[in-house]
A and B are shown apart, each in its own frame.
Chain A
Amino acid sequence: MTSRTSYITQEGPANALALNKDNSQVVIAGRNVFKIFTLLDDKFEEFCNLRVGKNLNLNFSCNDVAWNLIEDHLLATAATNGAVVVWNLNRPSRSKQEHVFIDHKRTVNKVSFHTSEPMLLISGSQDGTMKCFDLRTKEATKTFYSNTESVRDVQFSPHQAHTFAAVSENGQVQLWDMRKADKYFQHFTAHSGPIFACDWHPETTWLATASRDKTIKVWDLTAKPSCDFTIHTIASVGRVKWRPQRKYHIGSCALVVDCGINVWDIRRPYIPFASFNEHKDVATGIAWRGDPQSFLSTSRISTIWSIIKTCFENPLGSNNNPTRRQVSEPDAVNVMNLLPIGTNNDQLNSVFDNDVRSLQSESAAGAATTATTGMISGGDDETETDEPLDNNHFTGPYLTNYRRLPPDYGKRHQPKGDFSFGECELDPLPNSIIDFSNGGDNFAICNDNNWSLPKEAFPLRHEIQNRSPPPEQFPNHPPEVNNEDTGSILIEDQPCQLVIQCVPKPTFWNPSSLVENTLRHHANIKDIQTTVSILLALGDKRKSINIEIALQEHWLLEYIDMLGKFKLWDVATKIIQLAWISSVSQLNQQSTTVHTCCSTCTKSLQRAGWLCDRCHSSKHALCSLCHQVVKGIYTWCQGCSHGGHIHHMSEWFETNKTCPTGCGHLCEYS
């Protein structure tokens, strides 16, 4: 399996990059470059240059860029002069600049879109404030005063829609609630130096912070923030990004000294899991391309002419069998810290091979390029191969570029002190997979070339286990009619109404296999709506059809998913209601509960709505008119979040329009 690297040159340094919703395009932004590229298989193609117009003022000099992940045509940039600029790619004119917010007095370091509200944008600035912008009203709706020095990064939580994290130059992390602009609800000192970046873990409530004190820390925020993992790097860390689908992996790039991009396993804090040294200058931005095998990066470059580089390569190891790797890696990762008991050799090999390469590259020069048997000790780390391995899946064209070691495992993780940290870390990791001798590189994308079809046609909303193979598999079984009674009559092209009309006469002719084939045929040609409609129309008769329930469920879900994409929610709901499979028909009964939380400590209110178990107060449940605790129905304004007894509120709003607390909000009572 090949892996590829490609790159493209740009004038001027890039400060940041962002991918669009479906990872097909990338935007890079810098002091004097601002362009969108389409990502092709092996190269970049310039899609549009946004740095156009008569007066190229400072608004075009970007510190950061963000791409709206819901509305694909919206972009936002942070300028060094304090402006936050919104770009609309749908604008007919050549200049795509939509609006400029000039609310910040000093440089804006970071912009970031809300994860679910496409029209909300937040910015973090050098002046120590964060501002929330509403793109509909085109104004800064809220200002959050961090009371610290410059805010370096703001990131919305993917788990709680209203929460965002802000990190600042004095080493503090603050967690804010969008609705409460007066004060953060949690804060802690995370580093002894300035923090430059943070990233929420996509699955768990972890926050990774990167600082000038040369560490990356992973904070568990479920209760009191606690530092679960600390990674020690050799230089100040500029950016961090979690690797998708790999719980313990995080990518980072340094701010100075180290030009490489490192991927770390957070449980092994001193040696990177993999590293890439394609860049000739410090990398300024990294982004994963949705899957764990490919990423893009930009770099600052000293020369005015710089190079953008794409490397499509299998970055994280030399495993040539991607499907196996995908399945196996979680196991293998665990094994790294434990003992490799009962795990496939190949899998282990693939993971350890990385480690070995990064650890022992010097001594690896003379090592064989195919897996060998026997005992080999590499470098300072006195480990041995316990078991002969003879997997020969390293047959890619880059074999000669690999300096591979026979994979050794089993003992090497037990004596942790045996690693020669200093030597390996300071060594500029000479084992880059493909050595490009470019003068400098600005931009790189790494990907492997594994174009195997995805198993599921659509990303599934729910995790479904024991699912039968999806329809893509069915071309292997050509739709042959093996009918017993009527002989082979091919009616595939017949309108479906005809087929259904045939059903009422089962005594003469059993159509079930014909219907079954029809259904499969329609599913195969991606005409899933026909398939599901026929199935629905069949009613109880569908029991006689010999199609697995799991496949039927899969079809249903796909159809619902498709309807969702066309925003036909009504139809989708009808389908769900008519569904005969319980797991589908229960879809619209899930997530119907709204949990309330205490407004001071955000602990969810379980026992009673008016008393918080943690802070033992009912402050959140006071009526704003009578100042008594509301034990019955509490009604409140969605805008200003003040409220109280429902009858008090209705009385009040008969005569008044503004909020009874005097907050000045014009509440609507209906």
Chain B
Amino acid sequence: MDDEDQYQTGYDVGSFPKDFGYTPFDGEAEGTTGPLTGDQKPRILLMGLRRSGKSSIQKVVFHKMSPNETLFLESTNKIIKDDICNSSFVQFQIWDFPGQIDFFDPTFDSDMIFGGCGALVFVIDAQDDYMEALNKLHMTVSKAYKVNQAIKFEVFIHKVDGLSDDYKMETQRDIHTRANDDLADSACDQIHLSFHLTSIYDHSIFEAFSKVVQKLIPQLPTLENLLNILISNSAIEKAFLFDVVSKIYIATDSSPVDMQSYELCCDMIDVVIDVSCIYGLREEAAAFDSQSSSLIKLNNGTILYLREVNKFLALVCILREDNFERQGQYKNLFLNLVFTCKLYCYL
């Protein structure tokens, strides 16, 4: 992304009104993220046909809306940019992309849009006829690739909650083949698309976003390695490094992620923030801060342990209760790890 800086300068993403309720530390975010300022953060564009579910994704993932409430969202009929910058790692800019937009419109500054972005997420409604969406995808991807070759293309096959398992697979395979065939036909073989099956009614959308974000983090191997060291030297079974606001995991150890543990950890973060909102000392204080830590014992002998890493990140671990007594001896290691993580996050 050589040309990134060049386009960043004249592009003020904060010019659009932010009328969304839930961002408790919106105002102070920019100032406190350390050396990683807004311009350097990877940026994600969310695109897709109208009514494909972009606004719903945005509301559910970043604004904590209940998935059922998204039914009542109005259809977005003009380009809407929303800026979510309260995360230390990723700056999200969601572009709602109505169907009638014309790439060849001279006012459409593709250099500006695609130049500075790290990943382009294209949302396809799996319950709808996706032919038009595929055409759009092809157009968008080839256009974006011309401008910025380092861009990562992610396709969310969305709203799969309504599909049966077999049909889900069939749809994914069909979209995959068609999209790749289209690219091969126009001699764009080198473009690689990643596909994710997502739904806002479960955690698949969070997981898909996690994977997108992880591709944009250069420190990922190091963070993963640190977590590996942690779990191999302690009795911890699984460790996640979470972005607290969006509940996206920035890194995890290399053992397979199982959906239930991930959901548990997400729910834990919600609980911690809610409880801390209610019982926090001062009303204006942020629900999650540099002192946060929490421990939840489940009735199946499992313990969830949350520890802040920095203002936006938390380390959530799953471990067995009978091992927890022994955890004292790992405390030092644990703290060391937390500090090392901090260090890397600021790099």
Contacts and interface: CB of A to CB of B under 8 A. Distances in A.
A48 interface: no
Contacts of B235: 302, 304
Q: B195, B256, B323: which has the most chain A beta carbons within 10 Å?
A: B256
A648 interface: no
A38 interface: no
Interface residues of B, number: 36
Interface in B95-131: none
A109 B254 contact: yes
B168 interface: yes
A256 interface: yes
A147 interface: yes
Please indicate which of the listed interface residues B192, B194, B228, B253 has the most CB atoms of chain A within 10 Å of its own CB: B228
B225 interface: yes
B225 A81 contact: yes
Interface string A305-318: 00000000000000
B335 to A, nearest CB: 20
A302 B225 CA distance: 22
Contacts of B195: 170, 189
Nearest to B229: A58
Nearest to A232: B165
A58 B173 CA distance: 39
A170 B193 CA distance: 12
B141 to A, nearest CB: 15
B194 A81 contact: no
Contacts of B220: 106
A256 B257 CA distance: 10
B256 A152 contact: yes
A32 B233 CA distance: 8
B299 to A, nearest CB: 16
Nearest to B235: A304
B169 A191 contact: yes
B172 A192 contact: yes
Contacts of A148: 194
B211 interface: yes
Interface residues of A: mostly helix, strand, loop or mixed? loop
Contacts of A3: none
B224 interface: yes
Given A58-B232, A148-B194, A256-B258, A106 B221 contact: yes
Interface string A287-319: 000000000000010111000000000000000
Interface string A181-212: 00000001101111010000000000000001
Interface string B187-206: 00000101111000000000
Nearest to B169: A192
Contacts of B231: 31
Contacts of B323: 302-304
Interface string B309-322: 00000000000101
B221 A302 contact: no
A192 B258 contact: no
Contacts of A61: 228, 232
A303 B301 CA distance: 12
Interface string B162-177: 0001001100110010
B256 A255 contact: yes
Interface residues of A, number: 39
A192 B322 CA distance: 35
B256 A212 contact: yes
A109 B256 CA distance: 10
A147 B192 CA distance: 7
Contacts of A300: 237
Which of B196, B232, B258: most chain A Cβ within 10 A? B232
Contacts of A106: 220-221, 224-225, 254
B165 A192 contact: yes
B169 A107 contact: no
B294 to A, nearest CB: 21
Contact of B232 (A31, A105, A212): A31
A170 B257 CA distance: 12
Contacts of A212: 256, 258-259
Contacts of A194: 256-257
Given A303-B323, A304-B323, A126 B260 contact: no
B211 A149 contact: yes
B176 A126 contact: no
A63 interface: yes
A255 B237 CA distance: 12
A468 B326 CA distance: 65
Interface string A53-83: 0000010010100000000000000001110
Nearest to B173: A189
A303 B322 contact: yes
A145 B231 CA distance: 28
Interface in A124-154: 126-127, 147-150, 152
A236 interface: yes
B256 A196 contact: yes
A472 interface: no
Given A31-B232, A212-B259, A255-B258, A107 B224 contact: yes
A213 interface: yes
A250 B1 CA distance: 49
B224 to A, nearest CB: 6
* Candidate in B224, B237, B253, B320 with the most chain A CB atoms within 10 angstroms: B224
A105 B228 contact: no
A192 B197 contact: yes
B211 A81 contact: no
Contacts of B160: 192
Contacts of A63: 254
Nearest to A188: B173
B199 to A, nearest CB: 11
B71 to A, nearest CB: 24
A259 to B, nearest CB: 13
A138 to B, nearest CB: 24
A109 B254 CA distance: 8
A192 B166 CA distance: 9
A213 B165 contact: yes
Contacts of B165: 192, 213
Contacts of A58: 228-229, 232
B258 A236 contact: yes
Contacts of B258: 212, 236, 255-256
Interface in A92-134: 105-107, 109, 126-127
Contacts of B228: 58, 61, 80-81, 107
Interface in B142-184: 160, 165, 168-169, 172-173, 176
Contacts of B192: 147
B232 A32 contact: yes
Nearest to A256: B258
Interface in A221-258: 236, 238, 255-257
A302 B320 contact: yes
A69 B255 CA distance: 27
A81 B192 CA distance: 27
A63 B253 CA distance: 12
A300 B237 CA distance: 10
A455 B291 CA distance: 71
A187 to B, nearest CB: 9
Nearest to A440: B322
Contacts of A80: 225, 228, 232, 253-254
Contacts of A193: 259
Nearest to B225: A81
Given A31-B232, A81-B225, A147-B192, 20 more contacts: A58-B232, A61-B232, A82-B221, A105-B221, A106-B221, A107-B224, A107-B254, A127-B221, A170-B194, A170-B195, A189-B176, A189-B195, A192-B169, A194-B257, A238-B256, A255-B256, A302-B237, A302-B301, A302-B320, A302-B322
21 contacts: A31-B232, A58-B228, A80-B228, A82-B225, A106-B220, A106-B221, A106-B254, A171-B172, A188-B173, A191-B169, A192-B168, A194-B256, A212-B256, A212-B258, A236-B256, A236-B259, A256-B258, A257-B260, A302-B323, A303-B323, A304-B326
The 3 closest A-B pairs by CB, nearest first: A107-B254, A302-B320, A80-B228
